[in-house]
Amino acid sequence: AQSVAQPEDQVNVAEGNPLTVKCTYSVSGNPYLFWYVQYPNRGLQFLLKYITGDNLVKGSYGFEAEFNKSQTSFHLKKPSALVSDSALYFCAVRDRGSGGYQKVTFGTGTKLQVIP
Amino acid sequence: SAVISQKPSRDICQRGTSLTIQCQVDSQVTMMFWYRQQPGQSLTLIATANQGSEATYESGFVIDKFPISRPNLTFSTLTVSNMSPEDSSIYLCSAGGSGSGAQETQYFGPGTRLLVL
């Protein structure tokens, strides 16, 4: 079974400060990890994913995430937050398994509020 | 990446009626999914839409309530049948990439916002 946890319902950060949105996962094997963002009244937009290789993954809108296997974490980060980053962020995991397409498990979401 | 459109974007329906939501992908995809989301909350997978065969439903969801069609590799429909106010939600269509590997990214449509009175 696979699961993902986003321990913070909401994160508040001042504009211009660095931001971190936390995510931890659990899979029986090795994970594929994803981050999505959802703006109000919109669908989910893909930000970035970790497949293999470099533990630091860079994605859209200046976001990046660091895969940490020993801590089973995949925290989302950005060096300088913008007010326009305010949105709902979802972490997701898929077990690599034996190949083929398997269901993605989504976290409960973290609301990011960037304060001007 | 896949670009996904949904129709309608929103609707207000009377209880006891049914609504069919259409999902169109701009390229052929292996996998299509239907999710339900309460505003500000996480996603709940309703079913996987299988091309040429019956959809695979998650626990708590049944075909009689949520019939799904997948006639080809770019199109799917979800019907919410005999609606009640508890069905008020956002319904999201999602599609996998052109491949079938586990590393494929899922992309999402803009959602259909349904209010049942």
- The whole-number pLDDT of residue A18 equals 97
* Rounded average pLDDT over A42-53: 91
Q: Considering chain A, what percentage of its residues have pLDDT values greater than 90? A: 76
Burial of B71 (0-12, 13-18, 19+ CB in 10 A): exposed
Interchain CB distance below 8 Å, B100 and A101: yes
Contacts of B94 in chain A (CB under 8 A): 44
**Which comes out higher in pLDDT, residue B101 or B89?**
B89
In this structure, are residues B8 and B24 in contact, taking their beta carbons and an 8 Å threshold? no
Q: Does residue B97 or residue A24 have the better pLDDT?
A: A24
B1 vs A contacts (CB less than 8 Å) = 46
A101 and B111 within 8 Å at the Cβ level: the answer is: no
pLDDT for position B102: 58
Residue A29 has pLDDT above 90, yes or no: no
What residue of A is the nearest CA neighbor of B5? A43
Tell me whether residue A79 is exposed, middle or buried, using C-beta atoms within 10 angstroms of its C-beta: 0 to 12, 13 to 18, 19 or more.
exposed
- Give residue A73's pLDDT: 97
Q: What is the 3-state secondary structure (H, E, C) of chain A?
A: CCEEECCCCEEEEECCCCEEECCEEECCCCEEEEEEEECCCCCEEEEEEECCCCCEEECHHHCEEEEECCCCEEEEEECCCCHHHCEEEEEEEEECCCCCCCCCEECCCEEEEEEC
A-chain CB neighbours of B102 within 8 Å are: 32, 94-97, 99-102
Does the beta-carbon distance from A103 to B45 stay under 8 Å? yes
pLDDT of residue B30: 82
Determine whether the interchain pair B105/A106 forms a contact, defined as Cβ–Cβ distance below 8 Å.
Answer: no
User: For A5, which residue in chain B has the nearest alpha carbon?
Assistant: B42
**What 8-state DSSP symbol labels residue B104?**
P
- A31 close to B (CB below 8 A): no
Q: Is the separation of the CB atoms in A13 and A68 below 8 Å?
A: no
pLDDT value, residue A94: 86
- Tell me the pLDDT tens digit for each residue of B45-69: 999 998 888 899 999 999 999 999 9
Indicate the pLDDT class of residue A41, thresholds 50, 70 and 90. Answer: confident
